[in-house]
Amino acid sequence: MAPAAGEILVPEVSAGVGKAQHLGDGLGHHSFFEGDKHNVQEFVLPEALRFDSAFDNFVDDAEFPVIDLSTLASGDEKQRQETIARLAHAAETWGFFKVVNHGVPLELIQRILEQVRGFFAKPIEEKLEMKSDMPRSYFGYTPGTMITDVDGQHPSWTERLYFKRKEDLFRKLAQGAWPEDDGRISEAILKYMDHMDALTEQLFELLTEGLGVKSEKLTAFHDNTCGGFNVAHYPACPRPELARGLRAHTDPHTMAVLYQEYPGLQLLKDGKWLTVRPEAGTLFVNVGDILQIWSNGRYQSVQHRVALNPTASRYSLIFFKNPRLESVISAPSELIDEAHPRKYKAVSWAEYVGMISKGTTKPGLLIDKIAIA
């Protein structure tokens, strides 16, 4: 019996030496691929670019920072200051942290994930109707063949659907992605993004307080139209050591909030790539380049990537928070003194996004372009 659309046939994975390096063997029809199964060979990476850490090389849970936001509800000032200290330390030393008791309903997340799976299971022809006509655009549907290195080489074993925060653009794309829906999925995602706006604003306030700076000096650059929502699909890969879900990079935004059901996200810590273990209802937050610039390098935007799973498809929800286009970002004067000179030139979000669109820099090094020597 032929596999259904969206299904992938995964053979047993062997680490045997000398096994043919062919990703197409054992794959049935899958809506992720454009054309027949043999074109999956273009996803095979040169040996120098292959990941040296498997998707299940987990970080020590006892070491990874966890921020429990329920401690703020009591009104206890000592607990608040302890939470702020933990959060600031996590942003300074890891650049990533888990957030629990954040107030986002798990039922809402699961409802969105169900619709996301349905979209990515559609035939590639239908999904490509959602593709943006603009080169290097993040808006709309993007197949893995277009998610490459800066030079256009080495596609990624993934596909994504990116929504802008502006409601008119969002509703238009959502209607195209789920034409059979009566608007319920649109309302669910909009509600989720409202939760994300509230969460990121709360984290901004705590992080600025951790630096001894008034929160409005950061929150003033943002509003509830600033951001984007990315849903991504990483199909199970029979030879995950040969391909990648997403190359190493830093996020240019102020902050990103991730939900994942299956492992795959890896972050760079002390020169080692470590996998973050998913937990039901737990959100993962990372510092973006803009927050590193604004904090004068105190908070770290660290490199991360996505490794592939040999047996399970991975779906993720990512909310990106960024400043308004015209906002000029520079570290506040409270963070600058003789011992801590300014590390980065002032830059607007429009200028920073423009550097990305032009593909003028190598992965993970965009922020270095505005560093003060």
pLDDT tens-place values along the chain, 373 residues long: 333 333 332 333 333 333 445 555 544 445 555 544 446 788 899 999 999 888 888 999 889 999 999 999 888 899 999 999 999 999 999 999 999 999 999 999 999 999 999 999 999 888 988 887 654 556 789 888 888 887 678 889 999 999 887 777 778 788 888 887 777 888 899 999 999 999 999 999 999 999 999 888 898 999 888 889 999 999 999 899 999 999 999 999 999 999 999 999 999 999 999 999 999 999 999 999 999 999 999 999 999 999 999 999 999 999 999 999 999 999 999 999 999 999 999 999 999 988 876 654 454 478 999 999 7
CA distance 160 to 137: 12
How many CA within 13 A on the CB side of residue 59? 25
How many CA within 13 A on the CB side of residue 133? 0
CB atoms within 10 A of CB 11: 11
What pLDDT score does 53 carry? Answer: 81
Interstrand relation of 66-68 and 96-100 (parallel, antiparallel or unpaired): parallel
Q: What letters, b where the CB count within 10 A reaches 16 and e where it falls short, cover 306-326? A: bbbbbebbbbbbbbbbbbeee
Going from the C-alpha of 33 to that of each of 122, 146, 152, 288, the distances in angstroms are 11, 12, 18, 31
Closest to 170 measured CA to CA, from 203, 207, 140, 126: 140
CA distance 45 to 311: 20
Q: What letters, b where the CB count within 10 A reaches 16 and e where it falls short, cover 259-269? A: bbbbbbbbbbb
Torsion on CA atoms 52, 55, 60, 66, rounded to nearest 10? 120
Question: 3-class secondary structure for 16-82?
Answer: CCCCCCCCCCCCCCCCCCCCCHHHHHHHCCCHHHCCCCCCCCECCCCCCCEEEHHHHCCCCHHHHHH
CA distance 153 to 45: 10
Q: Tell me which of 2.40.160.40, 2.60.40.1150, 2.60.120.330, 1.20.1290.10 is the CATH number of domain 46-332+341-370.
A: 2.60.120.330
Closest to 98 measured CA to CA, from 234, 203, 190: 203
CA distance 127 to 313: 18
Beta-bridged to residue 252, according to DSSP, are none
DSSP type of residue 371: B
Beta-bridged to residue 274, according to DSSP, are 267
Beta-bridged to residue 233, according to DSSP, are 159, 315
Per the CB < 8 A criterion, the answer to whether 64 and 98 are in contact is yes
| Residues 6+ away with beta carbon under 8 Å from 179 | none
DSSP type of residue 346: -
Secondary structure class of 246 (helix, strand, coil): strand
DSSP type of residue 134: S
Question: What are phi and psi for residue 99, nearest 5 degrees?
Answer: -125, 125
Going from the C-alpha of 235 to that of each of 45, 310, 314, 367, the distances in angstroms are 17, 9, 6, 31
Q: Which helix (H) or strand (E) holds 272?
A: strand 272-275
**Domain locations in the chain as residue ranges:** 46-332+341-370
Per the CB < 8 A criterion, the answer to whether 329 and 290 are in contact is yes
CA distance 173 to 186: 10
